[in-house]
Chain A
């Protein structure tokens, strides 16, 4: 029982982590909580569905297709809704703009598809494997593997490539990066692209896992992933990974050992506790205000 729940928790947590990364990367660079990020995730799930049902492609092709689609969507949202406000007005206006985009995107999907839940078709032959007394499905293995590969790839990209170094430089001192010849707007676009692609991957996998996608699925998932990002320390990439996994595991254990009616409350209880006890999160750095 314990081990099975742990695997369920890790599976759910890894999808939270994929979404949380987008929040934390964008926040790290422009200190914006991108509240439209959950809707990008939702669009990713629908893009995957479209590719599988209408074009009839393989699920892995659909996954990559959905990621590329959301990259473009993320870049578009940034250019239209955030860039014109940047530097010219307070941070609050960016936040309000993000909420506006969030409402716009979910409403747009309602217009396109109606408000009802759509089932994902059978895209994988799901086997169950029993290791000792623990049961794990092939779908869980695929989700865990894909999430792991994506996160390892991201970590490599951020640490080793020029793009990743430029991102880190921008997150530490945007103005100095600009004065060193870095086209900051380009780097910000790339950051949105990468974060959105990860969210899309999360969306497709959650769609398959729970066999359901609906236009408002981004709301709750987005808020939980945001809580995960805060738990890990907003702005910290390893923090978002860790925060997502911890949140997923706690949520599943909460459902298993307490009551399923607490499912959604757990994430927010953790968010409140973190903000009270350790506002900078697990991996975040304490900001020292200079007077």
Chain B
């Protein structure tokens, strides 16, 4: 059991509102971990804290033994934490291929003179970016569309492109923010296979936030439940399903 990410007493306040209240989480290397909870429970806030958009009001964020709160987002990303977004945020007016290439830019620092003068360093980096984008686009079935604008892709394809772009960062931890939102059952099946493949073949730890209970129960090995900014339960899918507080606060609502 090796921890990859540890959250200690994470609290986030916005003015008077406490979006997260002393949340502890430990994510183990190689697992698929799910965070669930009703709307407004603080799930996306949690992602925004882990990726450095917010600096938590209190608590520690420890990644691979290193304290990372206060790090700027680009630095956290280049340490190996990549994410997708609940509302798709692709670079719409870049090609599909360039969107994925952007993901590699954080790893290989862009050289100003190299780019301007077309030096060999830059050509090499460009070639490597191309190889990587080809690989991930093939994996996600978007290779044929690599020259199209990201905006011209269908909704499901855009979701996959977001994953491809995140993978290009060579992450060790991948954060998926409601990856199944707006997908039909067949697409959800494919998505589950894909997430497993990412973990099994690329050895990437996956942390996901999702509304779809079926998907979460199916692929997550451990689940944490948030409600009003607090963690009210944590455990394996079976335990969560039978946890009374969870049923009360979350599953109960669905049953109405």
Binding site for B on A (CB under 8 A): 157, 161-166, 168-169, 172-173, 175-184, 186-187, 190, 193-194
Contacts and interface: CB of A to CB of B under 8 A. Distances in A.
Interface string B119-133: 000100110010000
Nearest to B93: A172
A257 B51 CA distance: 61
B126 to A, nearest CB: 6
For chain B, the bracket of interface size reads 35 or more
B116 interface: yes
Given A168-B91, A169-B91, A193-B112, A182 B83 contact: no
A172 B74 contact: no
Contacts of B125: 162
Nearest to B89: A176
A162 B53 contact: no
B102 A180 contact: yes
Contacts of B166: 180
B105 interface: yes
B93 A163 contact: no
Given A169-B94, A179-B53, A162 B122 contact: yes
B101 interface: yes
A178 B85 CA distance: 13
Residue in A165, A181, A190 with the greatest tally of chain B CB atoms within 10 Å: A181
B30 to A, nearest CB: 22
Interface string B69-111: 0001111011000110100011111100010011101110110
B141 interface: no
Given A172-B92, A183-B74, A177 B102 contact: yes
A182 B98 CA distance: 14
A168 B93 CA distance: 8
B118 interface: yes
A166 B93 contact: no
A208 B98 CA distance: 41
B169 interface: yes
Contacts of B169: 180-181
Contact of A165 (B94, B109, B116): B94
B3 interface: no
A172 B112 CA distance: 20
Contacts of B98: 165, 168-169
B43 interface: no
A161 B83 contact: no
B115 interface: yes
B91 A178 contact: no
Contacts of B109: 183
Nearest to A164: B115
B107 A181 contact: yes
Contact of A162 (B75, B89, B126): B126
A175 B53 contact: yes
Contacts of A176: 85, 89-91
A166 B92 contact: no
A164 to B, nearest CB: 7
Nearest to A176: B89
